[in-house]
Copies of this chain bind each other. A is one copy, B any other.
Amino acid sequence: MSKSADTRARILDAALSEAPETGLAGLSIARLAKAAGMSKSGLFARFGDQEALQTAIVQEASARFRKAVVDPAQSEAGAAARLKALAKNWTGWQIGLNGAPCPVLQAAFEAPALTPKAAEAARQARRDWTAYIQQLARRAALEGGLPEGTDPAAFAFAFEGAGLAVQSYAAIQKRDDAGALAEAGFARLFA
């Protein structure tokens, strides 16, 4: 990695480490500069402005989500198998954060408080996810991996709900049964 890319990665890493405690919108440049071990002016020189920085943080959160949840499901043959892998990976990713909020969902729920481009990136990430799940559900129904007559839009809505309930149970309510309830809840979507 070049020195420039390395610095950028270090800043985004610091941002995603701090965000659970401050929120993404509440992440001050001063705090982030301190966490990344650089000056405020150095940090601005790297990203330009607050909006570009916030947008980069949202994109970095999405990239980590893809790497942990989406990419490992690509080897599954068949849309239903891929959906099941996505459900399992999404649950595991959230539980693995040990009570910290999922940064992708945190950004989405904080969208109104973010700068416009960062907010739009956070909203678009959820739209893309919804469209992806809906498209896989359509294919799975055609392939026979989901019951005939499955409504892809209804499936995607229920899938989103199960994933968000994991966030509510694990990260907000701090319950220890989120994983078991998610497994059963996602399984019902395929029954």
Residues of A within 8 A of B (CB): 20-23, 25-26, 100-101, 105-106, 108-113, 122-123, 126-127, 130, 151, 153-154, 157-158, 160-165, 167-169, 172-174, 177, 181-182, 184-185, 188
Are B173's CB and A157's CB within 8 A?
no
Known contacts being A123-B174, A173-B130, A185-B154, is A23 close to B110, with CB within 8 Å?
yes
Contact A158 B153 (CB under 8 A): no
Query: A100 vs B126: C-alpha distance in the bound complex, in angstroms?
Result: 16
Most B CB contacts (10 A, CB to CB) among A112, A163, A174, A181 go to A112
- Say whether B112 contacts A109, CB under 8 Å: no
A161-B164 Cα distance, complex, nearest whole Å: 6
Q: Which of A109, A154, A167, A174 has the most CB of B within 10 A?
A: A109
Nearest-Cβ distance from residue A170 to partner chain B, whole angstroms: 11
Say yes or no: B177 contacts A126, CB within 8 Å: no
Assess the B168–A185 pair: CB atoms within 8 A.
no
Pairwise interchain contact B130-A153, C-beta atoms closer than 8 A: no
Considering only CB atoms, which chain B residue lies closest to A154 in the complex? B184
**A156 to nearest B CB, angstroms?**
9
Q: Assuming the A-B contacts A127-B173, A130-B173, A158-B165, are A23 and B20 also in contact, with contact meaning beta carbons closer than 8 angstroms in the complex?
A: no
**Please, which residues of chain B bring their CB within 8 A of the CB of A100?**
112
